[in-house]
Amino acid sequence: MTVARAALAVSRAVLAVPRAWGDRRTWRELAFVLLGALVSLPTFALALLGLAAAALSVVIFGLALLVGVLAIARRTPRYFRHPARRLVGWDWPDPPPLTAPTRWRRAVAILGDPTAWRALTYCFLRFPLIYAGAYGALIAIFTGTLSLTYPAWWLIRPDAFGVESTSWPGAWWRALQGAALLLALPWVVRLIVLLDSLLVRALLWPTPAARRIAQLKAGRAALQEDAAALMRRVERDLHDGTQARLVSLGVALARIQHRSGEDQIRALAADARGTVTEALTELRDIVRGLHPPALDDGLEVALSTLAARSAVPATVTVDLPARPPDATASALYFAVAELLTNIARHAAATRATITVGEEGPWVTLTVTDDGRGGAVPGPTSLPGASSGVPLRGSSPSGALSSGALPSDASASGSAASGASGSGSAASGAWGAGSAAAGGAGGAGTGLSGLARRAAALDGALTVESPPGGPTTVTMKLPREPG
């Protein structure tokens, strides 16, 4: 029995060899390898150019060339992915985009970008592998077919191709060799494809760290969206539930006051109604800090409302082709609220301009005032955030810098305590954040809080505020979250 089974297995294995040619996979892999030879040609040239550029990188031209080569290499994973997906069904995620906000920073970042270097290595290594495979496959097909049909050639012209083995059995031996070559070819091709897949895994797939980063980013984006949605829901609940109930309560008290003949009851009801009014005012301030309802009508409406409330006359220009994501919109809103409060408190400005526009993948907010300048953000407590927060403020001349900004948590704290007015809009999400950081942040809490918030959204905050003004604060946030 076992012998029979073994014999069956062997015969299956033997049969599998010729069957490989009937398998579509073999043809696809063969096509992949042959096409790969064409596909790898320009990328190999790129790799060689990269080598030359690296050698030349001591001169500035070589460095620029290297940046260019790496920038192209960074795109090659997608280039290679196209035939791989079609022919052998491989897939791998896009490399994460470079997140530096300016062209210059991206150029610097790419020199140390592992994705680009690994892709370039792949361009280099794949070429010999795939060429060996493609060359071998072509030779095998050609000589294999020729040998297989050798007995027929031998009959027609025994001295064809100048081969010396002119005996009839010799011709058949040659045919057998050709058959073996052709039968082995699919497995050789498979080996090449396997080696290529190992290279792809090692060099084109994002590294585990990169995949983890992508995962964390997606998680963070989801959390941000959730937080924005939660704020919005709480705002809805408070407005449509709590506020409506309080108003109804107030109306009921008013009716009691209206109908009762007893002075005592009327006085009591009037008192209670006053409390209801206060509660409503407080509720309004709380809600404004949570999620400005005006944001539902668009950023422009919300910012215009803010500007209208500002103590310093402010103009608003919003030029966005599409609605930014909720998290971005609310970050922009609270940034404007905070900046307008700062301007009103410390800048001694007579007017402010607020512009929101789009710049490539970024939404940029610029707030300018004609005040006395000298604003310097305090140190941010977020490690590493300083690299994303280019601070081009003037020399931190103590008096100005501490005077030009809310110097302690009480500034935002007082706003949160329900003082209605231009400051109160900054309460809630932002106010709480800066109040919490106030102890550590010290001077410049407002601006450093904004910088932190921008960094949390992968953006950046720039402050330009020479003594004597004018002050320009620019906030850049990615248009797409995550």
List residues near another protein by CB under 8 A: 236, 239-240, 243-248, 250-255, 258-259, 273, 276-277, 280-281, 284, 287-288, 293-294, 296-297, 301, 304-305, 307-311, 313-315, 351, 422
- Report in angstroms how near the CB of residue 470 gets to another protein at its nearest: 17
DSSP sequence for 226-254: HHHHHHHHHHHIIIIIIIHHHHHHHHHHH
Chain-centre distance for alpha carbon 431? 27
Q: Give the burial string for 208-230 (b: 16+ CB within 10 Å, else e).
A: eeeeeebeeeeebbeebeeebee
Q: Give the burial string for 181-196 (b: 16+ CB within 10 Å, else e).
A: bbeebbebbbebbebb
Burial class (CB in 10 A: 0-12, 13-18, 19+), 57: middle
> By the 8 A CB rule, do 160 and 204 touch?
no
> By the 8 A CB rule, do 257 and 266 touch?
yes
For another protein, which is the closer residue by CB, 207 or 275?
275
For another protein, which is the closer residue by CB, 111 or 265?
265
Element (H, E) at 324: none
User: How many Cα atoms sit within 13 Å of 282 on the Cβ side?
Assistant: 9
Rg of the chain over Cα atoms, rounded to whole angstroms, equals 36
> Count of residues for the chain?
482
- Report in angstroms how near the CB of residue 294 gets to another protein at its nearest: 6
- Report CA-CA distances (Å) from 90 to 29, 93, 95, 177, 464: 12, 10, 15, 34, 49
How far apart CA 433 and CA 289 sit, in angstroms, is 12
For another protein, which is the closer residue by CB, 288 or 452?
288
For another protein, which is the closer residue by CB, 304 or 462?
304
- Report in angstroms how near the CB of residue 477 gets to another protein at its nearest: 24
- Report in angstroms how near the CB of residue 376 gets to another protein at its nearest: 27
> By the 8 A CB rule, do 87 and 28 touch?
yes
For another protein, which is the closer residue by CB, 254 or 456?
254
For another protein, which is the closer residue by CB, 43 or 305?
305
For another protein, which is the closer residue by CB, 17 or 311?
311
For another protein, which is the closer residue by CB, 11 or 277?
277
- Report in angstroms how near the CB of residue 290 gets to another protein at its nearest: 11
- Report in angstroms how near the CB of residue 407 gets to another protein at its nearest: 25
CB neighbours of residue 307 within 10 Å: 19
- Report in angstroms how near the CB of residue 123 gets to another protein at its nearest: 53
- Report CA-CA distances (Å) from 403 to 321, 348, 474: 39, 11, 21
For another protein, which is the closer residue by CB, 149 or 315?
315
For another protein, which is the closer residue by CB, 353 or 366?
353
- Report in angstroms how near the CB of residue 423 gets to another protein at its nearest: 12
Burial class (CB in 10 A: 0-12, 13-18, 19+), 27: middle
- Report in angstroms how near the CB of residue 108 gets to another protein at its nearest: 42
For another protein, which is the closer residue by CB, 195 or 318?
318
Strand partners, 386: none
For another protein, which is the closer residue by CB, 227 or 249?
249
For another protein, which is the closer residue by CB, 324 or 374?
324
- Report in angstroms how near the CB of residue 57 gets to another protein at its nearest: 54
How far apart CA 229 and CA 437 sit, in angstroms, is 24
- Beta-carbon contacts of 371 under 8 Å, excluding residues fewer than 6 positions away, are 343, 346, 347, 348, 349, 469, 470, 471
Spatial strand order in the sheet of 471-478: 314-318, 352-359, 362-369, 471-478, 460-464
- Report in angstroms how near the CB of residue 232 gets to another protein at its nearest: 11
Chain-centre distance for alpha carbon 212? 13
How far apart CA 306 and CA 152 sit, in angstroms, is 92
Q: Which amino acid, 141?
A: I
- Report in angstroms how near the CB of residue 473 gets to another protein at its nearest: 19
- Report in angstroms how near the CB of residue 314 gets to another protein at its nearest: 6
